[in-house]
Structure 1
Amino acid sequence: MSQSADFMELKEDDIRAHYAAATAMLEGVDHTPRIAKAKEAPAAERSSGIGTRRRFRSTTPGLVTRSTARPEGVRLIERIEGVGDDALPSALQATTLQALRRALAIGLTVGDQFSDATGLAELKRENLEGRLSDSKKAEFTDLLAAEALAVLFSFANAASYLLASHATETTVEIGGVEEVLTDNAQLALHGALWELDQDLAIFADEDAKTVATLLAFTEQLMEKASLRAANTPRLEPFNQASYRVEADDLTINGFTPARAAKGSKLTMTFKKPNEVVGNHIAKYQSMKLAKMVMAYDFERKLNPFADLGGFIFTFMGDGAPGTGKTTLIQMMAGLMSGYCETAGYPFRYQNLSTDNIDSYQGKSGQNAKAFINNVIDPNVIGFGTIDDIDQLAGKRGDRQSSAGQLEITAVLMESFAGANTVVRGNCTFGMFSNYPENVDDALRQRAGARFLVDGPQTRDDYVDILNLLMGKNHDIPLGDFEPFAAQEIKKAVAASFDSHAKPHEEGLLKVFDKVSGEIGELDTINKLGTYLKGIQEADHRFTGRAIKNITDAVKVRAMDFELPDEWMEEPDLFLFKDYDTKLGMIKELRQPITVEMVIQEINRYADSEFRYADKSDEVAVANMVREYGLTEEAKRRYLESKG
């Protein structure tokens, strides 16, 4: 992958110049903890005839201690090579130490770049020479703290990235990282290595756990450094820079974790588009979206569709149980996986399930954030799904929502439309639910597109699905029927879109008839805006975010074309073109926006909101009726017991 002009190269010679200092830190540093406390390792069980592990061997005869703290200092090389019973270090131990040394060197190199860019290097010289003026002391202190956080995060980021390929199914829970110091970069690294040594002593009793402990530690260190950075001044030069390490294919973008461009192996059963019966608009938009994502440019880190405003970053598919939501996921994941395999792109699919809800405070939010970060990784094509989101994400104000569910809701809301959300166009998220009315209103409105998964509708749909599911192991004749003719996508989609010329939901239809009766045909921006205001008066939840989602959907309709199949089958025709060429090819296919499109998209979106609101209100009323009934029954029994 060639280097972009937006990147600031970290030269290999500069990185290797720090190898000696990095090696010295791994050999041994003295550090007295200032925030964290020494951790206690569990007592080791001993059996006769089994020797003690060399990393816990006491140098004082007869002395037994459980503390992981080393009075003689922190020696990570000895700590890591001491894992296991072999007298010689393993290949993985050597690889791990090489990765740690390189990560430390990268962090120190980033610190040099930051110092040069901010004038900190000159302030350090003045301080050493005793000529730092009082007027500069505050600036000097702030810059030292900023550099410390930049170096800490870059070290953890690089270590996590370099060790990612050695991860296994083994995981450990180390808790939070506490010894995060910001006096200066060197002290910050010493504190981090001291705490890492503590965790390794407790958790790393085999090589797989050594890597797992390191990865868990670097994740926690990155998170803590990012949180501290939010309230630390003078970090703009680091936040705005993109440092590139060409030899490792690593890019450091501020406090955003880098992820190794590694795809996930899918074991799901894929479905072909003709195996999805009914659901015409949802199927059509899913097929379009699968190809849209493939237009992502890995050099520019941007998708032309996102640039033009016709990209679906989040969508919600809702429908009754058994209408085909899982089948739709299998179809879309299968298409994207196949396209990526043809193009040689890494593809990463991940599902956020109820298994990610954890009883430990904060862990559910961490699981959700890890899910988001894995999918949005700009080095891969990503597809994230949240099936049964009504069970996974809690509704604020609902007493039945657990703390873990509310944590997930907060993470998803911030990630899908937060202040720091960046839509590059390399991934998309699908939220699916049988009961979307139980999803928090604000989270539901962060779904930019709505896919109504209503399953088979017509007689032809039911014949098609019966024929499909019956298979071939029978002799029952098909009869006078052309299989899958009703599933011809363009014809079916056109009919589906046309059906939204008028609303489907009764409440919205009353608004439509009232407004159009007063002002006539909705054929101008003024009249369309009046219709939108009428919807808002009928449902206060119809806010400015709803208008944005509608206009985004209209822009998608302007892209109402499917990229030719041959562009996916032969990557040289489109996928491997440079960004500007792909942008031009897409612009040529773009269609003009019409009034009919706008009305249809207003009705499609508002129909879904009215449908959700009606169900949500009905559920709320039913719950209140039940509670009143329970209260009355409790009063009756109480009075009987007193009598």
Structure 2
Amino acid sequence: MSQTSDQMELREAEITAHYPIALALLQGFDHAPRIGKGAAVATAEKSSGIGTRRRFRTTTPGLVTRRTTPAGAVQVMATIEGADADDALMSPVQATVLNVLRRSISIALAVAENYASVSGLGDLKRANLEGALPAARKTEFAELLAAEALITLYVFANATSYLLSSHQSEVTVEVGEVEEVLTDNGQTALHGALWELDQDIATHAPDDAHLVAAVTAYAEALMEKVALRAANAPRLAPFTTASWRVEADDFTVQGFSPAHKAKSTTLTMTFKKPHEVVGNHIAKYQALRLSKMLMAYDFERRLNPFAELGGFIFTFMGDGKPGTGKTTLIQMMAGLLNDYCQVAGYPFRYQNLSTDNIDSYQGKSGQNAKAFINNVLDPAAIGFGTIDDIDQLAGKRGDRQSSAGQLEITAVLMESFAGANTVVRGNCTFGMFSNYPENVDDALRQRAGARFLVDGPQTRDDYIDILYLLMGKNHDIPVGAHEVFSAQEIKQAVSASFASHSRPHEAGLLDVFDRVQSDIGDLDTIAKLGAYLKAIQEADERFTGRAIKNITDAVKVRAMDFELPDEWMENPELFLFKDYDAKAAMIGELRVPITTEMVVQEINRYADSEFRYADKSDEVAIDQMVRDFGRQEEAKKRYLEGKG
């Protein structure tokens, strides 16, 4: 086995050597289920353990040549061949599924063989066969066999899901929880898995689309079940600390982490051009820059120069009143990324986490949120994940109105956005959007590294532009004395917007700012800026160290206060296709110096948002208490009137 960077190559000869065993397993074997409940399923007549050909189907009406197959007879090949009872020939999809299963079993057996060699399990197996296994090592032997079983099952399921991903359709199948997970050894484990897969195919696969969906659903459910078991299982270090590369399939085994095909999302949304986002100058500017930042990601190094140099926005919060343009901003950014990726030939993945992902089953909401995160994080694609109306989706801890599902989503998002295992590669970004950010859990909201105030049209020119835009062209009304969209010129508008934050906007923060300036003068040193931050913390105890980190990150973004040239996006050879070091050097040349004005503006911008949220949150709480007191008084009045 040769070493290639941090991965080991799983040679093709090692895989194909297991083809005969894999084929025999698919053709037939006996299995008496221990945990799963076998269903008597009407299938083509089988003879247990004997490979069968596709049988002749009679065309005589009313003549049925089918029987109930015993639960212990497992013939996955025959079950797949008989999935479409109206066709006497095997379909291309059925052949593909069988080939995928054979290859996945073979890959799993090859990885398990490597594990046995590295962990010492192979030596113990030989000693056991010879009757020379020391009694003192029997526990170790049993633990290694259980580890081998878990590894075999996970790699089999992972490879199956991966290799079938390009054949999936819109059809989905719910196979339920996997039950027959056996950990005696790798061979027994595969028997249990294939027995249950055989049951699911017979139950859920009347045609090709459902066949692929059923096999994929089972593989994903098996991965999930095995990964949970593996979390507390011993002897797995030789597997979890190594990785194996199957070059022919572009497939990598990395512990109990699922592999994903780098495929793009098919987007059906209506994209918006930047000039169609009226107002929202800073939010629009940051979204434009972030879109181009993402495109600097280096797929070979799996890192973005912006993430290393500083200034990359991994998470952001977009807040504003209803109807101010949050959806339009999402449509603009998704459209830009989609277009850039099409030019470069990169896979682009957009996904939205919505209230549909809240489930009444315990743990399911968290699983949905984790699947959303993992799909966007996939380092083999450019990702953009949005969480619209996050105040409704993620529960606020301590709020009795928050459901268990909402709290599960909150926990997953907090751990994913700034947890101990969070790795920011720079290939994706997450946007949280809300009309009522004050209702978002404080700790979750502070995990948003940047704030996009989506305040909609503000000026007279903005309102003329949005009216012109929404009226369309099916009219003869003259525009009048106005140059359409000139007010939406990004550079001029953004410069004015940033300058406006030289002084705070919120009354509470403005009092703090004026008091500090009157005491120590202009905020032109690190010490004075630190004193201002401490004064803000004394006024709002929620202004913690995480807030300071978010502010310094925003300042670093300002140091990258430039847009990558449009021609770099239009002609990939100029930038996108260059190596990582060349990209980093080109970006470094464009950086601008950090000034005290930038720092003051970013402190005010961030603190303004926190004061705005706190004021709204307090007012909402007070209004709620007033309504509660009013209801209590009215109830008491009616109660006394009733008694009288």
Q: TM-score, normalized by length of structure 2?
A: 0.91
The 3-state SS of whatever aligns with 1:315 is strand
Q: Taking structure 1 as reference, are residues 470 and 519 closer, same or farther at Cα in structure 2, changes over 3 Å only?
A: same
Q: What residue number does 2:53 align with?
A: none
Aligned ranges for residues 329-344 of structure 1 at < 5 Å? 329-344=330-345
- Compute the displacement of 1:385 (Å): 1.4
- Which residue of structure 2 lines up, in the alignment, with residue 491 of structure 1? 492
SS at structure 1 position matched to 2:14: helix
Q: Which amino acid aligns with 2:472?
A: G
On the 8 A contact 1:508/1:607 being kept in 2, the answer is: yes
**CA distance 1:40–1:451, shift in 2 (3 Å):** farther
The range that moved more, 363-372 or 548-557, is 363-372
Alignment of 1:223-622 (within 5 A): 223-622=224-623
Distance 1:160 1:506, change over 3 A: same
Query: Given that residues 39 and 71 in structure 2 are in contact (C-alpha distance below 8 angstroms), is that contact kept between their aligned partners in structure 1?
Result: no
Distance, in Å, in 2 between the alignment partners of 1:573 and 1:586 is: 13
Q: Does 1:32 align with 2:4?
A: no
Segment of structure 1 superposing worse, 92-101 or 78-87: 78-87
Query: Cα distance 1:539–1:135, how it changes in 2: closer, same or farther (>3 A)?
Result: farther
Root mean square deviation of aligned Cα = 2.4
Structure 1 counterpart of 2:68, which letter?
S
Deviates more, 1:170-179 or 1:395-404: 395-404
Identity of aligned residues (%): 73
Gapped regions of structure 1 (runs ≥ 5): 60-68
Q: Distance in 1 between matches of 2:532 and 2:64?
A: 79
- Structure 2 partner of 1:191: 192
Contact 1:4 1:300 in 2 (8 A): no
Where 1:548 maps in the other structure, the secondary structure is helix
Tell me the equivalent position of 2:52.
Answer: none
Q: Is the 8 A contact 1:4 1:299 kept in 2?
A: no
How far the C-alpha of 1:145 sits from its partner, in A, is 2.9
Residue of structure 2 equivalent to 1:162 = 163
How far residue 266 of structure 1 moved from its aligned partner, in angstroms, is 1.5
Partner residue, 1:102: 103
TM-score w.r.t. the length of structure 1 is 0.92
Q: Which moved more, 1:118-127 or 1:384-393?
A: 118-127
From the superposition, tell whether residues 624 and 52 of structure 1 become closer, same or farther in structure 2 (CA, over 3 Å).
Answer: farther
* Residue in 1 that maps onto 2:55: none
- Which residue number in structure 2 is paired with residue 7 of structure 1? 7
How far apart are residue 342 of structure 1 and its match?
Answer: 0.6
Which residue identity is paired with 2:341?
C
Q: CA deviation at 1:238?
A: 2.6
Cα deviation per residue 1:372-425 (whole Å; 9 max; x = unaligned)?
Answer: 222222221111112122222222222322333223222222222223222221
Distance 1:124 1:539, change over 3 A: farther
Distance apart, 1:120 and its partner CA: 3.0
Q: CA deviation at 1:502?
A: 2.0
The structural deviation recorded for 1:121 is 2.7
Matching of residues 33-48 of structure 1 within 5 Å = 33-39=33-39
Q: Secondary structure at the match of 1:612?
A: helix
Aligned mates of 1:191, 1:94 — CA distance in 2: 23
Contact 1:53/1:84 (8 A) holds in 2: no
How far off its partner does 1:205 sit?
2.5
| Cα deviations by residue, 1:89-121 (Å, 9 ceiling, x for unpaired) | 222111111111111111112212223333333
Q: Give the C-alpha shift of residue 476 in structure 1.
A: 3.2
Deviation (angstroms), 1:494: 1.6
Flag the 1:524–1:141 CA change in 2: closer, same or farther, 3 A.
farther
Counterpart AA for 2:607: A
Q: Is the partner of 2:74 in helix, strand or coil?
A: coil
Instruction: Check conservation: 1:376, 1:426, Cα contact below 8 A.
Output: yes
Is contact 1:273-1:283 (8 Å) kept? Answer: yes
Partner of 2:151: 150
C-alpha contact 1:200 1:213 (8 A) present in aligned 2: yes
Within the alignment, does 1:222 sit opposite 2:223 as a pair? Answer: yes
One-letter amino acid of the structure 2 residue matched with residue 74 of structure 1: V
Q: Is 2:32–2:71's contact at 8 Å kept on the other side of the alignment?
A: no
Residue 636 of structure 1 deviates from its aligned partner by 2.7
What does residue 74 of structure 2 align with? 74
> Which residue of structure 2 lines up, in the alignment, with residue 58 of structure 1?
68
What are the Cα deviations for residues 477-517 of structure 1, in whole angstroms up to 9, with x where unaligned?
A: 33333332222211211221122122211222222233333
The amino acid across from 1:244 in the alignment is R
Change (3 A) 1:425 1:472: same
SS in 1 for 2:271: coil
Distance 2:65 2:412 in 1: 43
**Partner of 1:65 in structure 2?**
none
- Partners of 2:474 and 2:502 in 1: how far apart? 43
Report if the CA contact (8 A) 2:83-2:202 is conserved.
Answer: no
State the alpha-carbon separation in 2 of the partners of residues 517 and 483 from structure 1: 44
Check whether the contact 2:314–2:428 (CA below 8 A) recurs between aligned residues. yes
Residue pair 2:40, 2:68 contacting (<8 A) in 1 also: no
Separation in 2, partners of 1:182, 1:532: 57
Shift of residue 35 of structure 1? 3.4
Give the number of aligned pairs. Answer: 625
For structure 2, list consecutive stretches of 5 or more residues without a partner in the other structure.
44-59
Partners of 1:556 and 1:236 lie apart in 2 by 40
SS at match of 1:429: strand
> 2:383, 2:313 → 1: CA distance?
13
Aligned equivalents of 2:415 and 2:389: distance in 1?
19
Could you tell me which amino acid in structure 2 is paired with residue 271 of structure 1?
Answer: K
